[in-house]
Chain A
Amino acid sequence: AQSVTQLDSHVSVSEGTPVLLRCNYSSSYSPSLFWYVQHPNKGLQLLLKYTSAATLVKGINGFEAEFKKSETSFHLTKPSAHMSDAAEYFCVVGNNAGNMLTFGGGTRLMVKP
């Protein structure tokens, strides 16, 4: 079985400063990992995914995440926050069969002007 923990339920940053959203996972096999973003009253959009090809994964809108097996982490970062980044972010782990996604509790990112 797999699980994922997002370490912060809320993160607040100022526009132009770095963003760090933390995620730890648990999996009995080499995991598939995803970050999704949900803007207010919208569906979920894929930001990036880890497929074991590279430990540093680049996504859309300047986001990237680094897979660290020794720390069982997959933290999401962005060098400079923009007001439009304000949203809820979900770290997700897939099961080995590829038919089920397990979501973390979500991190709400607030960006102050």
Chain B
Amino acid sequence: NAGVTQTPKFRVLKTGQSMTLLCAQDMNHEYMYWYRQDPGMGLRLIHYSVGEGTTAKGEVPDGYNVSRLKKQNFLLGLESAAPSQTSVYFCASSPLRGRYTEAFFGQGTRLTVV
């Protein structure tokens, strides 16, 4: 029962480098999300997807791109990393059941940009 799996768990990037974070869920959920967590600010939504082939911007989308080519996977890309993108990134998924449905979270990816 894997749930939501994120890879990698840790990464250090140099400013200007690119990388992709992978999120995989095995619960057949329709919705998937990428959040970033910064001290004192809770989690803020970067991008989300309501189904395969769809993506939408969240609260803090600048500097990130996403793709959902397969229902079970949601990729978050950083084209040119900046120190301001140092954060812990969480992926989540939820079924298409309405507004009382909770999200299920991965273990997080700690990214440091130097």
Contact = CB atoms under 8 A, between A and B. Distances in A.
Contact of B107 (A43, A102, A104, A105): A43
Given A99-B31, A100-B45, A34 B40 contact: no
Interface stretch (B12-20, B62-70, B76-84, B94-102): B94-102
A98 B4 CA distance: 19
Interface in A19-65: 32, 34, 36, 41-46, 49, 51-52
Contacts of B101: 98
What is the interface of chain B mostly: helix, strand, loop, or mixed? Answer: loop
Contacts of A95: 99
A96 B100 CA distance: 9
B55 to A, nearest CB: 12
Interface of A: 6, 9, 32, 34, 36, 41-46, 49, 51-52, 90, 94-106
21 contacts: A9-B40, A32-B99, A32-B100, A34-B102, A42-B107, A43-B4, A43-B90, A43-B108, A44-B43, A44-B90, A94-B99, A96-B99, A98-B99, A99-B31, A100-B48, A101-B43, A101-B45, A103-B43, A104-B42, A105-B40, A105-B42
